[in-house]
């Protein structure tokens, strides 16, 4: 009869742990990236005894020892993806895990909010672990922004033009043409066109002046049949600056420029030019291939690396660590891929994955566990009453 008490107590213990699992699931309803655990129970060792008068292995009676809380399996069903304000908030649409480096140890997460740490590495705000990129050799390395906070300037070397410079115009100018020297200094130029066809038809005098109205260069642009004449379709000028070396810039009219008559109206414009000022890092995002793209204030972009995604053949051995992290020391080594690679989903920037807690499922489990606990409690109470009755009978004897 004492065995019945112990069996009932095993039920109380197991269902208490089951209740703890359900409580943890419900408490993490709004925890980003949280994965629920499903309670599992297992029956305990069965003792054997031969039936009286019937010896032999086929004539045995088995007596169970109760129930235990076997294990709680993780539910890796994806939670809802929700937009967030952080430009480095990352989530995964589909399978896979983000790889986070803790020294020489790798941890894994389904979602995370990342920022640039004091040491220049991209770190998870909650845990401080470093986000990992996948190298060309297939290894992991932390993503560092050393030398990437500033985008160096590039000097202007060519200005290209397009559209029509009407032969009927008496004069025409293009103001506010911005160029940059080797140190990123900006200079605003005006390019003026005056007809000079007294000797040769289709000839224009081109004058370049700086922001101080000082002339930098005069040159000749020659049209032949409304098309710029080769050898007379480019003009070089030199810009001198006290803060930078002399800068030579080419005015290129060779492609897309015409000189047909359109009355007094010309549509000639700057179609393209190189060069830009020094830029500071203004934003970061992730493209469809999982590449981390840096955007600078000067309009330039740079690629920092492909964020690594881990694919596990069986994620069940992963252990939850808190802060949305998983430990893979008991799991088979993962395969590392980039976004949308084999076995992994699409990396989404500016989003986070919500918990996959389903309250209706959890409350259903809660009712079953509560009933199991009540039944085990009744078993203990009944066994206790029977033991008390036995003691009373012995006392009467």
**276-285 pLDDT, tens digit each:** 999 999 888 8
- Do residues 245 and 180 share a domain? yes
- Do residues 230 and 256 share a domain? yes
Q: For residue 232, is it within any domain?
A: yes
Within a 13 Å sphere around the CA of 107, how many CA atoms are in the beta-carbon half?
23
Report pLDDT for 395: 63
Structure pTM?
0.74
Q: For residue 64, is it within any domain?
A: yes
Range of the domain at 219: 158-277
Distance between CA atoms of 359 and 36, rounded to whole angstroms? 11
Distance between CA atoms of 149 and 304, rounded to whole angstroms? 11
Confidence band for 60, pLDDT divided at 50, 70 and 90: low
Report angle CA 387, 391, 396 to the nearest 5 degrees.
Answer: 145
Distance between CA atoms of 44 and 178, rounded to whole angstroms? 82
**85-125 pLDDT, tens digit each:** 888 899 999 999 999 999 999 999 999 999 888 888 999 99
- Do residues 249 and 176 share a domain? yes
Q: For residue 152, is it within any domain?
A: no
- Do residues 319 and 346 share a domain? yes
Mean pLDDT of 75-87: 91
**145-185 pLDDT, tens digit each:** 888 889 999 999 999 999 999 988 888 999 999 999 999 99
What SS3 state is found at 103? coil
Q: For residue 188, is it within any domain?
A: yes
Q: Percentage of residues in the chain with pLDDT exceeding 70? A: 94
283: tokens are 């934003």
Report pLDDT for 2: 74
- CATH for 197: 2.60.98.20
- Do residues 272 and 169 share a domain? yes
Q: For residue 109, is it within any domain?
A: yes
**338-373 pLDDT, tens digit each:** 988 888 999 998 999 999 999 999 999 999 999 999
Residue-wise DSSP of 214-272: -EEEEEEEEEETTEEPTTSSEEEEEEEETTEEEEEEEEE-SSSEE---BTB----EEEE
- Where a domain ends, among 225, 247, 277? 277
What is the count of structural domains for the chain?
3
Q: For residue 153, is it within any domain?
A: no
- Do residues 171 and 213 share a domain? yes
Report pLDDT for 223: 94
- Do residues 269 and 294 share a domain? no
Phi first, then psi: give them for residue 97, nearest 5 degrees: -140, 145
Mean pLDDT of 239-249: 90
- Do residues 183 and 132 share a domain? no
- Do residues 258 and 181 share a domain? yes
**188-200 pLDDT, tens digit each:** 999 999 998 777 8
């Amino acid at each position: 009869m004492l065995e019945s008490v112990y069996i009932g107590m095993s039920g109380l213990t197991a269902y208490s742990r089951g209740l703890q699992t359900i409580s943890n699931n419900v408490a993490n309803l709004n925890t980003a990236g949280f994965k629920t655990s499903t309670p599992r129970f297992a029956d305990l060792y069965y003792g054997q005894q031969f039936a009286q008068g019937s010896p032999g292995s086929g004539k045995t009676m088995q007596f169970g020892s109760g129930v235990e809380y076997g294990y709680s399996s993780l539910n890796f069903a994806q939670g809802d993806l929700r937009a967030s304000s952080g430009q480095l908030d990352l989530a995964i649409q589909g399978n896979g895990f983000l790889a986070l480096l803790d020294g020489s140890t790798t941890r894994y997460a389904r979602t995370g909010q990342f920022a640039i740490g004091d040491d220049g590495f991209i770190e998870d705000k909650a845990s401080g672990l470093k986000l990992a990129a996948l190298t060309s050799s297939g290894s992991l390395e932390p993503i560092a922004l050393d030398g990437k906070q500033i985008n160096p300037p590039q000097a202007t070397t060519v200005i290209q033009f397009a559209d029509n410079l009407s032969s009927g115009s008496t004069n025409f100018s293009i103001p506010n043409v911005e160029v940059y020297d080797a140190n990123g200094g900006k200079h605003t130029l005006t390019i003026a066109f005056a007809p000079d066809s007294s000797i040769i038809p289709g000839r224009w005098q081109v004058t370049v002046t700086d922001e101080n109205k000082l002339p930098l260069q005069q040159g000749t642009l020659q049209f032949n049949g409304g098309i710029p004449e080769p050898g007379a379709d480019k003009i070089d000028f030199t810009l001198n600056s006290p803060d930078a070396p002399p800068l030579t810039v080419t005015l290129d009219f060779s492609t897309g420029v015409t000189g047909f008559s359109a009355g007094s109206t010309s549509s000639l414009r700057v179609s393209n030019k190189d060069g830009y000022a020094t830029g500071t890092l203004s934003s970061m995002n992730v493209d469809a291939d999982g590449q981390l793209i840096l955007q600078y204030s000067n309009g330039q972009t740079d690629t920092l690396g492909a964020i690594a995604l881990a694919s596990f053949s069986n994620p069940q051995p992963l252990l939850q660590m808190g802060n949305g992290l998983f430990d893979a020391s008991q799991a088979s080594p993962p395969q590392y891929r980039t976004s949308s690679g084999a076995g992994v989903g699409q990396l989404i920037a500016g989003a986070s994955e919500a918990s996959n807690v389903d309250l209706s499922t959890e409350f259903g489990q809660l009712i079953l566990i509560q009933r199991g606990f009540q039944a085990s409690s009744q078993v203990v109470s009944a066994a206790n009453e029977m033991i008390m009755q036995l003691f009373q009978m012995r006392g009467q004897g």
